[in-house]
């Protein structure tokens, strides 16, 4: 069997018993095609099939062909119901083995394409296609989850609404491709400045929502300034221009022990603070008036 498989062009791993086979097949980079004998020490073929299927993740499906000298229908049904995909009676003809393995490979290729398509759909449903950041629904879900942590955990969440200053003028002057390039670079800088423990999402148009967990009243102003300066410090290089860019920020800090204010209300306060930042000349941070710490 080993010689035949190598002649067919397969790399072959041999397990001396059922438990060793289970260990090999459980590896992240383990084989995707398995020829399993019905009679083996430690774990027999059907038990090994059940073990594989119990631990199986959809993204790493193993196609199993059960080998046996048993030929009655009850054994065939038992083998297939244990999790085998196919059933081959020994001794098997080389041409039949080759054809069965080719069928297994086709099934695995189709399964991989389905997983890839599913992941692409999940990404498109969660991330903004231009900036690569979370889209509006995803960043709002992250914010809601952050605010929903239990009160006894004494958590603090900082919400920041950011708007690119004079973005419409930039689009009108230099064109939408340049505007898109500016948004991409701003998104990259925001993501880098926020780092771990937070998330950035495209809230809409040229607006971004930032959620930072485990912030504190003593550090929130510094965190906001770091993010504002990440945009204003260096002009943004596009294909034909180097453009200065700034953002205005409206922020609000929510502490779990200060009542259960809905996300919608918190965002309304942050939006009002953002509006005041625009009135005050842009390129600045304004904190919501409802925050007692200020």
Per the structure block, which two tokens stand in for 216?
């504190």
Please tell me the distance from the alpha carbon of residue 232 to that of residue 245, in angstroms, as a whole number: 6
- Same domain assignment for residues 7 and 67: yes
- Same domain assignment for residues 106 and 156: no
Comparing CA positions, the residue from 150, 149, 283, 285 lying closest to residue 210 is 285
Please tell me the distance from the alpha carbon of residue 124 to that of residue 118, in angstroms, as a whole number: 10
Comparing CA positions, the residue from 276, 260, 266, 153 lying closest to residue 210 is 266
The answer to whether 245 touches 182, Cβ cutoff 8 Å, is yes
Q: What is the pairing mode between strands 247-255 and 285-287?
A: parallel
- Same domain assignment for residues 113 and 223: no
Query: What pTM value is reported for the model?
Result: 0.69
Domain count, the chain: 2
Residue 116 bears catalytic tag? no
- Same domain assignment for residues 103 and 161: no
What residues form DSSP beta bridges with 98?
A: none
133-156 pLDDT per residue, tens: 999 999 999 999 988 876 555 678
Question: In the predicted model, is pLDDT for residue 291 greater than 50?
Answer: no
Provide the 10 A C-beta neighbour count for residue 115: 14
What residues form DSSP beta bridges with 252?
A: 159
- Same domain assignment for residues 161 and 281: yes
**Backbone phi, psi, residue 283, to 5°:** 50, 45
Percent above pLDDT 90 for the chain: 53
Please tell me the distance from the alpha carbon of residue 94 to that of residue 88, in angstroms, as a whole number: 11
Residue with tokens 């596009």: 238
The answer to whether 22 touches 51, Cβ cutoff 8 Å, is yes
Q: Residue 131 domain-assigned?
A: no
**Does residue 161 or residue 90 have the better pLDDT?**
161
Residue with tokens 């939006």: 271
- Same domain assignment for residues 199 and 264: yes
- Same domain assignment for residues 208 and 105: no
Q: Residue 105 domain-assigned?
A: yes
Q: Residue 30 domain-assigned?
A: yes
223-273 pLDDT per residue, tens: 999 999 999 999 999 988 899 999 999 999 988 755 567 899 999 999 999
Per the structure block, which two tokens stand in for 237?
């290089």
DSSP three-state, residue 206: coil
**Does residue 26 or residue 286 have the better pLDDT?**
286
State the greatest distance between any 2 C-alpha atoms of the chain, in Å, as a whole number.
Answer: 85
**Backbone phi, psi, residue 242, to 5°:** -115, 115
Give pLDDT, residue 293.
35
- Same domain assignment for residues 159 and 264: yes
Which residue among the candidates 23, 58, 185, 206 is catalytic per the annotation?
A: 206
């Amino acid at each position: 069997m080993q010689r035949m498989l190598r002649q067919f062009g397969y790399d072959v791993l041999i397990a001396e018993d059922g438990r060793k086979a289970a260990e090999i097949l459980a590896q992240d980079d383990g084989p995707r095609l398995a020829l399993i004998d019905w009679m083996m020490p430690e774990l027999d073929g059907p038990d090994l099939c059940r073990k594989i299927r119990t631990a199986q993740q959809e993204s790493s499906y193993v196609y199993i062909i059960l080998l046996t000298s048993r030929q009655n229908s009850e054994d065939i049904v038992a083998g297939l119901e244990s999790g085998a995909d196919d059933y081959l009676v020994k001794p098997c003809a080389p041409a039949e083995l080759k054809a069965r393995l080719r069928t297994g490979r086709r099934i695995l290729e189709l399964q991989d394409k389905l997983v890839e398509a599913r992941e692409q759909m999940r990404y498109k449903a969660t991330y903004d296609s231009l900036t690569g950041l979370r889209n509006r629904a995803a960043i709002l879900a992250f914010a809601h989850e952050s605010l929903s942590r239990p009160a006894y955990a004494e958590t603090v969440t900082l919400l920041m609404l950011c708007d690119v200053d004079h973005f419409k003028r930039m689009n009108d002057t230099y064109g939408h491709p340049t505007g898109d390039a500016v948004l991409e670079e701003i998104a990259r800088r925001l993501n880098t400045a926020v780092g771990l423990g937070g998330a950035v999402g495209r809230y809409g148009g040229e607006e971004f929502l930032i959620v930072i967990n485990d912030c504190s009243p003593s550090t929130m102003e510094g965190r906001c300034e770091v993010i504002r300066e990440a945009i204003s410090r260096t002009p943004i290089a596009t294909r034909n221009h180097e453009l200065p860019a700034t953002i205005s920020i409206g922020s609000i800090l929510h502490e779990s022990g200060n009542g259960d204010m809905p996300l919608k209300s918190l965002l309304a306060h942050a939006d009002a603070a953002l509006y005041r930042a625009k009135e005050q000349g842009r390129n600045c941070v304004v904190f919501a008036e409802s925050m007692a710490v200020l």
